[in-house]
Amino acid sequence: MAERIIGEASSGRRMFDMRLERSAPDLWPMLDRLYGDHPAYPAMRDALLAEMQKAWKARPAALKELDLKRDLQPDWFQSPEMVGYVFYIDRFAGDLNAVHDKLDYLESLGVTYVHLMPCLKPRPGNNDGGYSVMDYRAVNPAYGTMADLERLASALRERGMTLCVDLVLNHTAKEHDWAKRARKGDPAYRDYYLMFDDDTLPRAYEEHLVEIFPDDAPGSFTYYDDIGKWVWTTFNEHQWDLNWANPQVFLEIARIMMFLVNKGVNVLRLDAVAFMWKRMGTRCQSEPEVHMILRALRAVTRIVAASALHLEEAIVGPAEMLTYFGRGEHDGREGNLAYHNNLMVQFWSALATRDTGLMTHVLRTHFPEHLTNATYATYIRCHDDIGWAVTDEDAGALGFSGYDHRAFLSDFYEGSFPGTFARGALFQVNEETGDKRISGTFASLAGVQKAQELSNPEMLDDAINRILMGNALIASFGGIPLIYMGDEIAMTNDYGYTDDPEHAHDSRWIHRPVMDWASTQSDPDTPAGRVLAGTRHIYARRKAVHAIHGIHPIRVLNAPGRAVFAFQRLAPAGTLLCLFNFSEEWQELSEDWLKANGVVELYDQLSDAPIETRNRRFALPPYGRVWLT
């Protein structure tokens, strides 16, 4: 009897009401502020409530059980158990059904979180790597069907793995049904996008906008002869920006989110969120309304699918990035996860200069020690280019020019700077601002490719150690570390993309190779074998060290020695002191300094062995990394 009552309460109407009550303050007040004056708002509000009730009713029992489980363990996504892996379905396995056969491999790496790169139905032809979606309720037919996705979601859930899927909500493909109707002249759908009769307003906006793809998609607007209108297209011509000032757009996307989480998607990676709100006279990035929208969307998901999270993609400077975790009035109520692109940028910057001064300054001054109900997605490489998000102010604080430093980093990682270890490619050079972004795989940027070209074993050792140091950094910083497909076997740049007419214009394809399965069986003394064994070891150790849990504060320290980066994880049971050597020189640290910063046992949790000191000094090898207790 009691069991039945609890069962009903946890899955029935009463539970919905409780969940609604919990998240109502994050939903209605935000919508009131965003859309209160819009004539369509009252009807949209009613429709949204009805849709949420419907989605809750339709939510499968197994997912409702997971919701309850996550509610009982709200810090689950901050746990050291979390290790992510990111891949393109076709390049990794072929199609969705073939992914099942690869799950043992992922498990052997320690992976508990799987991010499928864009898998919803894209427009035909060039589709920006799947980010130009024409149908959010269908899977890319090249990968399978929605039923296949659901099946994979269950298989992952049975293994205790979390499934992350991209949701592009800043724009749709121009082939999306809404866009087609808008193009035909349906006024309701015209209002889903941002359309202008002449170029007066577009020109006025352009004065303040930053170009995203200046090389091959210059400008942020496109003129269509057939309709005589300018359409807002921030990214590519085929990606039409949605008009988030229209409450109907909110409702449509909310419905899609509910649809996806009910298929078993656990994390929605919200793409390019910074661009969702436009305001004349601004860059139209990270406007306050963006955070209201994201908070309200988060509330919708939380009501219908409490176990699902939002990962927000905002590749911006340090102070701006933090707002996506919900700052100020939104504290703890917005994204659960956001990419730590600043940690990533600073990793590459410090590697190139062998100097951690800027890294320490940026991470100490801009980031709090603790986030509420949120954590970072940490990574070293992803499918996108690296943009040098180093501000003039931060560079200035260290006494150098931001412009020069960014230019140096591009030259260094492109491979043209004298003495560089990197091999990369430029991406979207902006002649006007001098901005140059960089493409390249982890291994090629870290020196593996050049060492192999020169058959230089010492250079190769350094390169491998850079890769393992990067992994040890993102594994211990707090948050969910993301391994990008192929990096665990040190895959180098794939230059073949230039032969594919759909990819040739976009150097990001240099680091989107086809998975080299043969290399996962490599001898332990090959680069692939060494990186694979090292990566496995690091993530196994991560899981064994509780101080790494995301709830424990991160305190970045001013380490002695210019090449050492140091931070503490302040766990109540004892501090973990993590040290990384960003140079090919040995670095000495005194035992006194280690002890003053919380080290008691002189034990390295990463190698799982005591460290040796000589004359009360500890020497950290080239590219060495330790997690000391």
Give the residue numbers marked as catalytic: 271, 313
Nearer to ligand GLC, 171 or 541 (CB): 171
Residue nearest to ligand GLC (CB): 131
As measured in angstroms, the least distance from the Cβ of 155 to ligand GLC is: 26
Q: How far is CA 29 from CA 7, 32, 299, 395, 533, in A?
A: 32, 5, 11, 40, 51
Radius of gyration of the chain (CA): 24
Residues 246-305 that bind ligand GLC (CB under 6 A): 271-272
Q: DSSP letter string over 18-32? A: HHHHHHHHHHHHHHH
Write the burial class of residue 314 (CB in 10 Å: 0-12 exposed, 13-18 middle, 19+ buried): buried
State which H helix or E strand residue 172 sits in: strand 171-173
Whichever of 381 and 383 has its CB closer to ligand GLC, that residue is 383
Nearer to ligand GLC, 217 or 460 (CB): 217
Q: Is residue 67 a contact point for ligand GLC (CB under 6 A)?
A: no
Q: In Å, what is the CA distance from 135 to each residue of 8, 123, 183? A: 35, 8, 17
Site for ligand GLC in 149-188 (CB under 6 A): 168
193-214 b/e with 16+ CB inside 10 Å = b? Answer: bbbbeeeeebeebeeebebbbb
Phi–psi pair at 512, nearest 5 degrees: -125, 60
Strands 574-581, 564-571: pairing kind:
antiparallel
Nearer to ligand GLC, 90 or 313 (CB): 313
**215 is an interface residue for ligand GLC by CB under 6 A:** no
Q: Which of 216, 349, 212, 376 has its CA nearest to residue 284? A: 212
Regarding 212 and contact with ligand GLC (CB under 6 A), the answer is yes
Residues 308-347 that bind ligand GLC (CB under 6 A): 313, 315
Q: Are 131 and 123 in contact (CB under 8 A)?
A: no
* Shortest Cβ 216–ligand GLC spacing (Å): 11
Of the pair 16, 235, the CB lying nearest ligand GLC is at: 235
Total residues contacting ligand GLC by CB under 6 A comes to 14
Of positions 77, 88, 235, 347, contacts ligand GLC by CB under 6 A: 235
- Structure tokens given for 490: 């040190």
Q: Which is nearer to ligand GLC, 492 or 507 (CB)?
A: 507
Which span sits near ligand GLC by CB under 6 A: 67-75, 128-136, 149-157, 322-330? 128-136
Binding of residue 129 to ligand GLC (CB under 6 A): yes
Task: Find the shortest distance in angstroms from Cβ 324 to ligand GLC.
Answer: 12
Q: Looking at 37-45, 127-135, 150-158, 245-253, which segment touches ligand GLC (CB under 6 A)?
A: 127-135
The label of the residue with tokens 């069991």 reads 3
Residue 405 CB, shortest distance to ligand GLC, in Å, is: 18
Identify residues 371-400 at the interface with ligand GLC (CB under 6 A). 383-385, 387
Q: Could you say whether residue 241 binds ligand GLC (CB under 6 A)?
A: no
Q: Which residues contact 349 (CB under 8 A, 6 or more apart)?
A: 358, 359, 388, 390, 405, 409
Should residue 131 be labelled a site residue for ligand GLC when binding is judged by CB under 6 A? Answer: yes
CB of 102 to ligand GLC, least distance (A): 23
Bridge-partner residues for 231, per DSSP? 195, 222
DSSP state of 240: E
Residue 534 engages ligand GLC in binding (rule: CB under 6 A): no
Contacts (Cβ under 8 Å, ≥6 apart) of 448 = 460, 463, 464, 467, 490, 492, 527
With respect to ligand GLC, which residue has the nearer C-beta, 248 or 286? 286
Residues that bind ligand GLC (CB under 6 A): 128-129, 131, 168, 212, 235, 271-272, 313, 315, 383-385, 387
